[in-house]
Amino acid sequence: TRQICILAFKIGDWLTNLINPTLGGLIAMLSMSRVPIDRWIRFIFPIFILLMIFSFITLTLAVSINYNWIILNVEGILSKLVSFPILGGQSNISILTWIKEYIESYGVEVHLVPNKKEKKASLHCRIGPAEDCGVILSGHMDVVPVKEQDWTSDPFTLTNKGDGKLYGRGSCDMKGFLACCLAVLPKMVSNDLKTPIFFAFSYDEEVGCIAAPELAKAIKNYYTEKPKYAVIGEPSMMEPI
């Protein structure tokens, strides 16, 4: 993953600084102690070799478990999504960018469907093979206003009050569903799916489902394979409609 590459780069940069000091603190320490650079290299080289071996083992383990800095549980993802105060009709670029980068960090290609002014966009992607009979998981990124509502907590901070519920604007409608989709993405990617799963996340649903038709059209035109089902994660008291 991209996070493993970043980890490898940071480890390499850190190890390089041990042999060829460029960090201000390390340079200052060597200068104040008047340690010649050749003496420093003789001292640090055995430690450098041990650290290289340890780093190699660390990166090997990271690859084997599909390590990712931003693996989050569903509550953690929901907390992040709720923190974006994107109302219907507003630009959704901030939440869109976060979701897009999260999905892409697992090696999944994401496609955007922007509006004419490019201030908003829907997204779609496919996880799994290019086969017919897949399932679309669909939701929207915007929420309804909170003005003049009697909130006892910050509506854009996910709050656990200890009653088994999570409070925040959109926690049900419908960032909760988006969080579930994103939380299970690592398992989707790591499993050998026989049929594909699609994500289709839109904007401006709360002001008339404005983006949904263009998103549906974009999905139909982009993929040669035909999905068979769609799950729309709107809150319905857990009753299918």
pLDDT at 31 over 90: no
Query: What is the average per-residue pLDDT within 118-133?
Result: 96
Least confidently predicted of 13-27, 105-119, 201-215: 13-27
| pLDDT on residue 133 | 94
Report yes or no on whether pTM surpasses 0.75.
no
Least confidently predicted of 60-69, 104-113, 165-174: 60-69
Least confidently predicted of 28-32, 144-148, 155-159, 235-239: 28-32
Question: CB–CB of 113/212 below 8 Å?
Answer: no
For tokens 């980068």, what's the residue? 101
23 versus 186: the higher-pLDDT residue is 186
63 versus 203: the higher-pLDDT residue is 203
pLDDT at 69 over 50: no
Write out pLDDT tens, residues 91-105: 999 999 999 999 999
Write out pLDDT tens, residues 187-196: 999 899 999 9
- Where residue 159 falls among pLDDT bands split at 50, 70, 90? very high
Pairing of strands 229-232, 135-140: parallel
| pLDDT on residue 175 | 96
pLDDT at 174 over 60: yes
pLDDT at 15 over 80: no
pLDDT at 128 over 90: yes
pLDDT at 34 over 80: no
Among all residues, which ones are annotated catalytic? 142, 205
